[in-house]
A and B are shown apart, each in its own frame.
Chain A
Amino acid sequence: MDQPKPKKPTNVELLNRLRDVLGGRRVSRALGDRLNYSHDLWPRSLLEIRRGEAPYRPDLIIWPETTEEVSRVLKVCNEMRTPVVPFGAGSGMCGGVLPVCGGVVLDTKRMNHIERISEESQVAVCQTGILGIHLEQELNRRGYTMGHFPGSFGISTLGGYLATRSAGQAATMYGKIEDMVLSLQAVLADGTVIHTRTAPRRATGPDFNHVLLGSEGVLAVITRAHMRLHALPAAREFRSAVFPKLDNGLEALRLMLRFGLRPTIVRLSDPADTSVTMKALGLSAQGCLLVMVFDGRSAQIELESAKALEICLANGGRDRGEEPARHWYNHRFAEHFRQSPLLAEQKMVLDTIELAATWTNVKPLYDAVHKALGRQATVLAHVPHAYPEGCALAFTVLCKVTTEDEFKRYDRLWQTAMDAALKNGGVISHAHGIGRQKVRWLAKQLPLALPLLQGLKRRLDPNNILNPGKLSVEVECPC
């Protein structure tokens, strides 16, 4: 992997100029901060941390509070050719915030105000550093929901969702982050503030939101967003079914969505996921467990959930009642607690590889990836999101490693999965993004994407200060 660049001493002039903008309290060069901002939750970085290594360290961390401050600090950094890494909550799974060239980490979390909620248009205007869960709690209090519930709901920011094109568990009903955003405010590398303008829809050129969505911090710092809200649902229904084989479950899902049903959440486990993950959450089942949640008016969701169940039964499923789905729903964030003991006590590596494919491709993709990974690790798979055209597939991989072979084995797992995905009609990421990790495979999947992005970046960020080394094969440090 990448070699750390030789570190330069902190630039005193930079420090002073940033302090001029932000004051002393919101600029840090403390060792502890530099370490905690040296990585995100990319499991490969966790392996490094386990060894006591943190190869990339930023020189400074800053906490602007307004768009204007972001603009001013970017101007300073641009003039001084200093890398700036936008940082939400560092919950990314692919090294999106690794400060590969050192420089400044710009933490957005002090930009966490909900500026306005328009009840009539059901739109919230919000700074991007707010944690998803805080935003949702506040909206709930006022009778609304944004409907975005990634597994990382409590540990990630709105800006992170936008920058990585996140998708939440309720995507089937409420859409993915790109379906929730109306407009954005962002700051370009030279400090220029741009706005996309709010309208329910427009035909005035390409949707510029989409240049920023998924830009993973390399084009601009996103500072504010207008987000679509929904009234909190009046009622909720839970349904569960088990299928003898994954095919049956997939077919049931496909037919449900084709019929026009709109479940809020569907989650289908393969046999291993059913017996391990679901069991860990306290659910005992065999086969492939499907949990479903329906939100809305009670008459409507009774109708829809009954139809959904009917489709399950017609496709070899057995009705498991409400309880498994309800239980899963109430404990659904608990699965992430498994990581600590596995890494701390068992010398494991653990990661999630999430892909997506059309219904036509999904089973062959599952088979190929499962088979290839199965030789190297324990593999648990589930369908976290489904759409009328296809679904996402998430493979949880875990295996025991030694200090000597851990990186080799980790990298091999990914190489295997990505090769299989590329060969079998899958996309290499459904929602987590590219970061530092998947650049090589993006180059295979969408060969023009990287040169185009780099070209675009050269024009919007000629000094390459914004998140260098991300969405890019080369690591060209600006300094």
Chain B
Amino acid sequence: MKISPSQASTELREALTAIVGEANISVANLERLSYCRDLNPMANLATNDGRLGPLPDVIVWPHEVDQVVRLVKLAAERRVPLIPFGAGSGVCGGTTPLRGGIILDLKKMKRILALDEKSLAVTAEAGIIGQHLEMELNRQGYTMGHFPSSIYTSTLGGYLAARSAGQLSAKYGKIEDMVLGLEVVLGTGEIMRTPVAPRASLGPDWNQIFVGSEGTLGVITSATCRIRPYPPSREFASFVFPTIEAGIEGMRLLMQNELKPAAVRLYDELDTALVGTGSKQGESSESFFDSLPISQFGNAVKSLVPGLVRRAERFVGQRADLANELQRFATKGCLLVLTFEGEELLTRAEKNLATEICEKAEGVNKGPEPAMRWWKNRYHVSYGQSKVFYHGAFVDTIEMATTWRKIADLYHEIRRAVREKAFIMAHFSHAYHEGCSVYFTFVSAGTDVEKARQTHRQVWDAAVAACHRVGGAMSHHHGIGYTKAPYMHEEHGQAMRIFEALKQEMDPAGILNPGKMGLS
């Protein structure tokens, strides 16, 4: 593989070194390769193929906000792209250095600056890994309540920048609900520090303008977030609904009865078959892990249709339509898992009410077991990816959201739009008062990487078109990056003028993460 040399001039390198010091800058090819991709599936596929790029020219690791200011100013002066980088766990190419330039890795800014136990607030630098922050909070008796599946490999700054949502969002909120104050270095090098208060009316809420800006408006250097006491109790409950519609109705009723479960997840028929609704099957976490959708797709097929085992993974990719047919065998109903956490007095009452509501809505009570199994294995699903890619297929996820009125439509429309090209299954999570998100996993393959790439694009084109037809958000929590950038104008219409204006104002030199999010 040929690697094009770094474009960073000696002078630029020296100037950067003067800011961060020798130890915190690299132009080594090894590093340039590591920082050229995040976890978007096309990058993975390219890795398989040995074709990587574009590469950054230089990587820097600042330690202090002042250094960030100087770096940004330097980049602006020289008109060199600067890409804020958390842990590179994004799945839509948010950190891809499309036009080369400087990767600004924030992971050395990882201190917890303050823990205000009385006000339930933690202030930390943006580069801290989610799990590190959470562990430290746990140690002190608190939780942030933010549990994306990627918690081991993503940063606080990344959560904020990419508008992340964790598995327990129904109780603790999404990242935008947690942020109390931010420190951000704008593209001009100016520092914006928003005052920390439970709430304010000081004109537009700047915190909310940076949340979701994916590195295009400023570099988030630290944040103050809401925390909660570590929950003294947890409750689990599971129900099986006869149809996906019945399950959705159950979720709707839970949310509209003002319940605040921690996790709410509904699996569609196939997902359910794979996860398993019985409490006997898969007693140990090991075998549960093995029965999870992506990782063990082959095993699932084995248990359902003997004889298709060996070629299962490839089969899935290349004969997608047939694979979808399998679902009919898989129909066992739809599993809803619920967890509740907090003070026992409240969680018990909530669980009882939830049970009453679900049972009234045709849900068959399956006891706590399935939900507990989900809980134990909640991060494991992601490990399955490797296997798929290893076999030359690819897997990607589409997470969309809409109101209850349209959610079943969205689910069916997306499946219809995609099923010819990929094997697709879904679960519903992140429930809200007025709707929920639906999370599709699709697996497909191509005879070569280029074909796979085409298929991937076609799936997305079809899915987003269907989403806009029904009326919904094309991303619930993964963000835009560059892979979804082409759809931004369709998604927002004239409202993009607001984003453009913000961009021009905050990053007049256009150096911050250029080429992303449909910004010109």
B468 and chain A: residue at smallest CB distance = A197
Chain B residues contacting A471 (CB-CB under 8 Å) are 203
How many Å from the CB of A187 to the closest CB on chain B?
10
User: Given known contacts A199-B435, A389-B226, is B403 in contact with A123 (CB within 8 Å)?
Assistant: yes
Given A192-B497, A196-B495, A208-B495, CB of A122 within 8 Å of CB of B256: yes
Tell me, yes or no, whether B239 is within 8 Å of chain A by CB. no
B-side contacts of A254, CB under 8 Å: 118
Which of B199, B206, B472 is in CB contact (< 8 Å) with A167? B199
Q: Counting CB contacts under 8 A, is B343 at the interface?
A: yes
Q: Which of A195, A211, A445, A459 has the most CB of B within 10 A?
A: A211
Check: A204 CB closer than 8 A to any chain B CB: yes
Q: Does B315 contact A (CB under 8 A)?
A: no
Interface mask (A183-219 → B, CB under 8 Å = 1, otherwise 0)? 0000010001111111111111111101111111000
Which residues on A sit within 8 Å (CB–CB) of B479? 203-204
User: Are the CB atoms of A211 and B209 closer together than 8 Å?
Assistant: yes
CB nearest to B435 among chain A residues: A200
Evaluate contact between B403 and A206: CB separation under 8 angstroms. Answer: no
A297 and B495 CA atoms in complex are apart in Å by 40
- The distance in angstroms between the C-alpha atoms of A430 and B499, with both chains bound, is 26
**Is the CB–CB distance between B203 and A453 below 8 Å?**
yes
Chain A CB within 8 A of B45 CB: no
B258 — which chain A residues lie within 8 A by C-beta? 230, 296
Chain B residues, Cβ within 8 Å of A204: 212, 473-475, 479-480, 484, 488, 491-492
- Is B226 a contact of A388 with CB atoms below 8 Å? yes
A203 is contacted by which of B162, B349, B406, B488 (Cβ under 8 Å)?
A: B162
Question: CB-nearest residue of chain A relative to B164?
Answer: A203
Residue B405 contacts which of A121, A192, A212 (CB distance < 8 angstroms)? A121
Q: Contacts A358-B116, A429-B202 hold; do A210 and B208 have CB atoms under 8 A apart? A: yes
Do the beta carbons of B478 and A203 come within 8 Å of each other?
Answer: yes
List of B residues within 8 angstroms of A434 by Cβ = 201-203
CB contacts (< 8 Å) of B500 on chain A: these are 459
Q: Which of the listed residues B118, B202, B353, B471 has the most CB atoms from chain A within 10 Å of its own CB?
A: B202
Return chain B residues, CB-CB under 8 Å to A121. Answer: 403-406, 434-435
Given contacts A199-B435, A201-B174, contact A193 B491 (CB under 8 A): no
Neighbouring A residues of B180 by C-beta, 8 Å: 389
Collect the chain A residues with CB atoms within 8 Å of residue B214's CB.
205
Residues in A with CB closer than 8 Å to B203 are 214-216, 433-434, 442, 449, 453, 471
Name which of A2-10, A32-40, A104-112, A299-307 contacts chain B. Answer: A299-307
Pick the residue among B116, B213, B432, B493 that contacts A206 (CB under 8 A): B213
Q: Are A120 and B200 in contact (CB under 8 A)?
A: no
Most buried by A among B176, B206, B214: B206
Docked-complex contact A303 and B349, CB < 8 angstroms: yes
> Are the CB atoms of B200 and A389 closer together than 8 Å?
no
Complex contact B201–A202 (CB within 8 A): no
Using A194-B495, A200-B434, A228-B433 as known contacts, say yes or no to A429 and B402 having CB atoms under 8 A apart: no
Contacts of B475 in A (CB 8 A): 202-204
In the complex, chain B residues whose CB is within 8 Å of the CB of A432: 201
Which of B120, B195, B505 touches A459 (beta carbons < 8 Å)? B505
**B119 and A201 contact, CB distance less than 8 A:** no
Residues of B in contact with A, size category: 35 or more
Check B196 for interface membership: any CB of A closer than 8 A.
Answer: yes
Task: Report yes or no: B162 in contact with A200, Cβ–Cβ below 8 A.
Answer: no
Q: How far is the CB of A262 from chain B (nearest CB, A)?
A: 8
Tell me if B403 and A200 are in contact (CB < 8 A).
yes
Residues from chain A with a CB closer than 8 A to the CB of B257 are 231, 297
Q: Does B54 contact A (CB under 8 A)?
A: no
> Residue of B at shortest CB range from A307?
B345
A294–B103 alpha-carbon span in the complex (Å): 51
B392-426 to A contact mask, C-beta < 8 Å, 1/0: 00000000011111100000000000000000000
Residues of B within 8 A of A128 (CB): none
Answer whether A205 and B492 are a contact pair too, CB < 8 Å, given A122-B433, A356-B197.
Answer: yes
B217 contacts across to A, CB distance below 8 A: 206
Residues of B within 8 A of A390 (CB): 119, 197-198
A446 in the interface (beta carbon within 8 A): yes
B307 CB–A CB distance under 8 Å: no
Which chain B residues numbered 483 to 502 have a C-beta less than 8 Å away from chain A? Answer: 484, 488, 491-495, 497-502
Answer yes or no: A292 CB below 8 A from chain B CBs: no
Instruction: Report the separation of the CA atoms of residues A296 and B119 in the bound assembly, to the nearest whole angstrom.
Output: 27
Known interface pairs A122-B433, A359-B118. Does A211 touch B403 (Cβ–Cβ under 8 Å)?
no
> A431 is contacted by which of B201, B472, B498, B499 (Cβ under 8 Å)?
B201
Which listed residue (A194, A203, A206, A296) contacts B476, Cβ 8 A?
A203
Interface membership of A30, Cβ < 8 A = no
B352's closest neighbor in chain A, by CB? A299
A193 to chain B, nearest CB (A): 7
Q: Known A389-B180, A427-B197, A459-B505; judge A203-B119 contact (CB<8 A).
A: no
Q: Is A277 an interface residue (CB 8 A)?
A: no
B205 and A210 contact, CB distance less than 8 A: yes
Judge whether A120 and B405 touch: CB under 8 Å.
Answer: yes
- C-alpha spacing A375/B119, complex, angstroms: 30
Establish whether residues B434 and A122, one from each chain, have CB atoms under 8 Å apart when the complex forms. yes
Interface set, chain A 403-440, CB cutoff 8 A to B: 426-434
Distance of A87 from chain B, by nearest CB (Å): 18
Q: Which of A193, A201, A429 contacts B430 (CB 8 A)?
A: A201
CB-based contact A391/B198 at 8 Å: yes
Q: Is the CB of B473 within 8 A of A206?
A: no
**How near does chain A come to B402, taking the closest CB pair, in angstroms?**
6
* Residue A68 is within 8 A (CB to CB) of chain B in the complex: no
- Give the CA-CA distance A392 to B200 in the complex, in Å: 9
Chain A residues within an 8 Å CB radius of B165: 201, 203
What would 17 more interface pairs be, CB under 8 Å, given A299-B349, A442-B203, A449-B206?
A197-B473, A198-B403, A200-B401, A201-B430, A203-B478, A205-B212, A210-B209, A297-B257, A300-B353, A358-B196, A385-B199, A390-B198, A391-B198, A428-B202, A430-B199, A445-B195, A446-B192
Q: List 9 A-B contacts (CB under 8 A).
A: A200-B436, A205-B212, A205-B214, A205-B499, A211-B204, A212-B204, A215-B204, A389-B180, A429-B200
